[in-house]
């Protein structure tokens, strides 16, 4: 499968620059989120990949779908993506845009992987410790990964702190294999 990030980055950067110039950074993030979420919908995927429809027909359907919830800039993005056969990049564009927005605001995005959902008290404790270290406005997301067997793994940017049982078992196996 082709890596979509290098293809999506120029679109995300252009949107970010445009939104920054018009003081609409948050609004653009919301519009991209709406389009990215919809692009994962099976009906939208089938419309985008329908060989019977022309590119313009696909754009018209998508613009009509998002008519009330997106700006003219986002509609133009849909046209450009359709013209270049890149509508599959919507989700990746949103993720890159979100990263650019967080960097611009000086925020950190932290993903915490857990084997089972932690209780409210444990969750609050984890969030408190992470926010004290990485800033009060850090965005913290919890994801469930039962394959971890227990413990947790914390991903901040491109760094990962693996405190899971699976991670410890893998480390032990690596040490035994030299």
What's the pLDDT at 1? 43
Last residue of a domain, one of 103, 132, 166: 103
- Domain range for residue 35? 5-103
Q: Taking 70 as the threshold, does the pLDDT of residue 36 lie above it?
A: yes
Q: Is the pLDDT of residue 125 over 90?
A: yes
| Helical axes 5-21 vs 72-83, angle rounded to 10° | 150
Residues 61 and 99 in one domain: yes
Residues 78 and 152 in one domain: no
Residue 58 banded pLDDT, cuts 50, 70, 90: confident
145's tokens: 């990964």
DSSP string, 117-175: PPPHHHHHHHHHHHHHHH-TT-EEEEEE-GGG-SEEEEEETTEEEEEEHHHHHHHHHHH
pTM (2 d.p.): 0.64
Instruction: Please give the tally of structural domains in the chain.
Output: 2
Do 85 and 121 have their domain in common? no
Domain identity same for 139 and 98:
no
Among residues 103, 120, 140, the one where a domain terminates is 103
**Segment 10-23, tens digit of pLDDT:** 999 999 998 888 88
pLDDT in tens, 112-123: 999 888 889 999
């Amino acid at each position: 499968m082709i890596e979509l990030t290098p293809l999506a980055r120029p679109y995300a950067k252009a949107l970010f620059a445009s939104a920054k110039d018009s003081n609409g950074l948050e609004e653009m993030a919301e519009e991209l989120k709406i389009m990215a979420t919809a692009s994962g919908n099976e009906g939208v995927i089938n419309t985008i990949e329908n060989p019977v429809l022309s590119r313009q027909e696909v754009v018209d359907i998508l613009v009509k779908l998002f008519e009330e919830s997106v700006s003219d800039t986002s509609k133009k993005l849909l046209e450009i993506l359709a013209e270049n056969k890149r509508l599959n990049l919507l989700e990746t564009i949103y993720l890159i845009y979100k990263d650019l927005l967080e960097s611009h605001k000086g925020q950190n995005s932290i993903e915490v992987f857990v084997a089972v959902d932690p209780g409210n008290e444990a969750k609050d404790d984890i969030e408190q410790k992470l926010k004290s270290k990485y800033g009060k406005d850090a965005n913290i997301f919890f994801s469930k990964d039962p394959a971890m067997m227990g413990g947790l793994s914390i991903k901040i940017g491109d760094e990962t702190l693996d405190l899971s049982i699976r991670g410890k078992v893998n480390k032990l196996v690596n040490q035994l294999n030299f």
